[in-house]
Copies of this chain bind each other. A is one copy, B any other.
Amino acid sequence: MSKNLTSRAEDYSKWYNELVVKADLAESSAVRGCMVIKPYGYAIWEKMQAELDRMFKETGHQNAYFPLFVPKSLFEAEEKNAEGFAKECAVVTHYRLQNDPDNEGKLRVDPEAKLEEELVVRPTSEAIIWSTYKGWIQSYRDLPILINQWANVVRWEMRTRLFLRTAEFLWQEGHTAHATKDEAIIEAELMNNVYAEFAENFMAMPVIKGVKTESERFAGAVETYCIEALMQDGKALQAGTSHFLGQNFAKAFDVKFTNNEGKLDHVWATSWGVSTRLMGALIMTHSDDKGLVLPPNLAPFQVVIVPIYRNDEQFEAVSEKAESILKELKVLGVSCKFDKRTTHRPGAKFAQHELQGVPLRIAIGPKDLENNTVELARRDTLTKSIVEIKDISVTIKNLLIQIQEELFTKALDFRNEHVTEVDNFDDFKKVLKTKTGFISAFWDGSSETEQKIKELTKATIRCIPMNNKMEEGKCVYSGQKATQRVLFAKAY
């Protein structure tokens, strides 16, 4: 199986596409740009969901559900937001099919069933949610509203890639309403921090927290906070965003409240989201030419046991040992699968679990039973060792913690090696072509310069890091006065 995987050096993009399909994570569907998330891929997404959901609830948020459709008149209310998404909206215009009189057995759209007002399939839910919040908010006593939604959204992208950019994707979107500007800003920063914590502690993926420049901001936001990760090919990936929306949506939907001084004011807003795109980020942070590498905290099962045997008697003896290890691991909260399929040989099983990134593999054969050992193989380092079966569950539990940490450290080292300070545009271009990664360079703060650099190099400003050092310098492109370095990179 893994022999067929294109190597990363040969063609990173092809390697990614093949890996997603071969590891049974997802595949393209019959619908242009939409994917099918297969059970193994979905199980990883479920682990992400469970942890994020826990973190959201711990920070005081509740889940709710708002409609899939946004009437066009609501969609267009916040002009910048509407303008930003108009070009990629799937639009429902009819509500009925009928038999096609010219084509027996076929259906056609019933021309009589045209909607009076078209419905946009939500590309994001600010509009429908703020039109709802209007009915919920009268006084400061009704605030804050701290709501999250797990949902599907549709953005009609022209060029799509599994997980990274699909017409339909799954995500969560938080939408909060506050009495003061400060409270809303604190919320937006808090959720960006929650995303960073999740990325680092669960995905083992180091991220840089920052804010977007004006041109890269979410349509309708006053400030967009983000976490930026670095993929193995030196391209950046925006892994999560959290927006301070000011009073833009409250004004568009006329959402006012009486503050504690009895005065009317517009409500302050945030929104924040991460999506199945994180699956792409996870894959491109850790995986190798043999396939997927999963951090133990997100692996559908952390350990797999493969029995080695020649006859039924051996199988039974090995199985007994395997079952006892399973039990022990369960007690310690380690998820383990005993792969006792008779349809596959051990070699095929090894290859599959390697391709699918199971963090630890145990092989047990008759010799192991004699010696009271098992063979333990780490997926991340591809190292094998013979270990005593005594205390095996504790050994594994500790090893999983170690793997989780080492994956993070490895990714962090790679990222840190790929942040390059550059002081002139020739070096900028050279680093971008050869070393790749983030380029830390002075920028004069103008959208023109940003745009020009993008045209010339395809690199964009990924973010202005949080708590950035203010210093005097000259813009790497224009030579104009600059006050800080920002991070450039080519990006997904």
Contacts and interface: CB of A to CB of B under 8 A. Distances in A.
A39 B35 CA distance: 30
Interface residues of A, number: 65
Interface in A161-202: 168, 170
A325 interface: no
A29 B91 contact: no
B86 A95 contact: no
A120 interface: yes
B97 A66 contact: no
Given A72-B107, A147-B39, A30 B132 contact: yes
Copies of this protein in the assembly total 2
Contacts of A37: 64-65
Contact of A69 (B34, B70, B72, B120): B34
A95 B170 contact: no
Contact of A156 (B43, B66, B89, B96): B96
Interface string A92-119: 1111111100000111010000000011
B92 A88 contact: no
Contacts of A29: 66-67, 128, 132
Interface string A31-64: 1001111110011011000000000000000111
A63 B44 CA distance: 11
Given A30-B128, A34-B68, A109 B93 contact: yes
A121 interface: yes
Interface stretch (A73-81, A227-235, A375-383, A439-447): A73-81
A392 interface: no
B168 A95 contact: no
A274 interface: no
A5 interface: no
B43 A62 contact: yes
B39 A156 contact: no
A90 interface: yes
Contacts of A168: 67-69
A432 to B, nearest CB: 33
A86 B97 contact: yes
A91 B34 CA distance: 16
B97 A94 contact: no
A247 B39 CA distance: 23
A75 to B, nearest CB: 7
Contact of A76 (B45, B96, B107): B107
22 contacts: A27-B135, A29-B128, A30-B71, A31-B70, A34-B69, A36-B67, A36-B132, A39-B147, A43-B63, A76-B105, A76-B106, A79-B105, A89-B95, A89-B96, A89-B97, A90-B94, A90-B119, A91-B97, A97-B120, A109-B118, A151-B152, A152-B152
4 tightest Cβ-Cβ pairs between the two chains A and B: A39-B62, A34-B67, A37-B65, A86-B97
